[in-house]
Amino acid sequence: MSQGAGKALEDRAAWLQPYLDSPEKQQQLYRRTLMIVVLSQIFGGAGLAAGITVGALLAQDMLGTDSFAGLPAGLFTLGSAVAALIVGRLSQRYGRRFGLAAGFLTGGIGAIGVVLSAVTNNVFLLFASLFVYGAGTATNLQARYAGTDLASSTQRATAVSIAMVSTTFGAVAGPNMVQVMGRFALSIGVPALAGPFILAATAFIFAGLVLLIFLRPDPLLVAQAIAAEKRNGTDNSVVNNPHTLSVNNRGIMVGATIMVLTQMVMIAIMTMTPVHMRHHGHGLGQVGMVIGIHVAAMYLPSLLTGILVDKIGRTMMAIASGATLLAAGIMGAIVPADSMIGLVIALALLGLGWNFGLISGTAIIIDATTPSTRARTQGSVDVLIALSGASGGALSGMIMAQTSFGTLSLAGGFLSLLLIPVVIWSRRK
């Protein structure tokens, strides 16, 4: 071994050892990590709201048709699938700090590209930029895992919920700044619908810098070192027991299925809501308000949801997710298109059902993985989540163009019922 490599190992041992020796320092780092994640999520939430709120409207204006209005959501969720895989691999190898910072900064570059595409009216640049912008969306979702690396089994869902509830501040502010950012964009010679992407670029870049500068020591690297030390003092036959591996694999499959279904249903209905509202005379401010309430329902109840998932169980909250999404689909189908109250309730239920599914599914995934494989597995699962969102977003425009928003809502609601047999299967021994 070279002198340089030996010194690097000694330096690493020097900063790691206090955390290996002291559970109290581990909890201090756990709390500090949550604070950094919270700050980054506030910025990240503002960044992801742009694509949700005006992505479909921007494509509608540039293409002149509704049939492909769901394509932007499909593209940035497809981009988020690729990014989720890369961010997961980078995090597993180099730690959360490097992986998450790279993802957010890439998303910021994509948002800048969307603004340039609107200025030049270049549809191909728009689609390519939306794909890259998806990296910010994927990273915003994966950041929820960073706070769980040093959490105990009874803190995991709560840790996820703290990260997600902090996203609310930016995610709710984003849609409600649509008009403000639109006026700002016009004042500098940029189309109004590109205004929210100026906010997204700034927000994603700030989120990336916060993590890059402050997420030290890296929680995943510390968790991996702690797990390695515990393995050295235990019987590896217990760790590698086929029954244990089977239970863990089942947990990964169940958690992934719950999150995939909830993501598909939520993206499909949410993507077409702005188009549906514009068709029936609602203004951009009203669209922003409905989407803002929807995003609030996605994230704001997280703290309570996390406590419930830790206290009453993952499977019960997964069932609650399916029932809530069904109620959202039925509500979206039966309320009059000109009813703001009805649309608000439907989209709030849609966000709440997604919240239940994401937090319960995330907790199941964390329970079923170890630090040595956790980030890579989480990244792979988030790929499936993103792909399901991409297919839901891309198909939603075609379904609505051929049928109606009501049909789309009902289809999504009934699809969510598949969560129940999945949960029943997961409880079988």
Secondary structure tally for the chain: helices H, strands E: 18, 0
The larger pLDDT score, comparing residue 4 to residue 337, is at 337
248: pLDDT strictly greater than 90: no
Find, among 351, 345, 296, 353, the residue nearest to 326 by Cα.
Answer: 353
pLDDT band at 291 (very low <50, low <70, confident <90, very high): confident
State the pLDDT at residue 8. 42
Find, among 386, 380, 360, the residue nearest to 92 by Cα.
Answer: 380
State the pLDDT at residue 428. 67
State the pLDDT at residue 349. 96
Q: pLDDT tens, 28-57? A: 899 999 999 999 988 888 887 766 667 777
396: pLDDT strictly greater than 90: no
The larger pLDDT score, comparing residue 162 to residue 327, is at 327
241: pLDDT strictly greater than 60: no
CA angle 154, 351, 409 (to 5 degrees): 135
- Mean pLDDT score, 120-143: 89
CA distance 359 to 159: 10
Model-level pTM? 0.77
pLDDT band at 279 (very low <50, low <70, confident <90, very high): confident
240: pLDDT strictly greater than 80: no
pLDDT band at 70 (very low <50, low <70, confident <90, very high): low
| Exposed/middle/buried for residue 93 (C-beta within 10 Å: 0-12, 13-18, 19+) | exposed
Half-sphere exposure of 385 (CA within 13 A, CB side): 32
The string over 30-47, giving b where at least 16 C-beta atoms fall within 10 Å of a residue's C-beta and e elsewhere, is bebbbebbbbbbbbbbbb
The larger pLDDT score, comparing residue 330 to residue 12, is at 330
Highest mean pLDDT among 9-18, 237-246, 302-311: 302-311
What is the share, in percent, of the chain residues with pLDDT greater than 90?
32
- Mean pLDDT score, 223-234: 76
State the pLDDT at residue 245. 55
Q: Where are the domains of the chain?
A: 14-230+241-427
Q: pLDDT tens, 335-361? A: 888 888 999 999 999 999 999 999 999
Q: What is the CATH number of domain 14-230+241-427?
A: 1.20.1250.20
The larger pLDDT score, comparing residue 58 to residue 383, is at 383
Least confident of 93-97, 182-186, 357-361, 368-372: 368-372
380: pLDDT strictly greater than 50: yes
CA distance 55 to 393: 11
Find, among 76, 101, 104, 99, the residue nearest to 88 by Cα.
Answer: 99
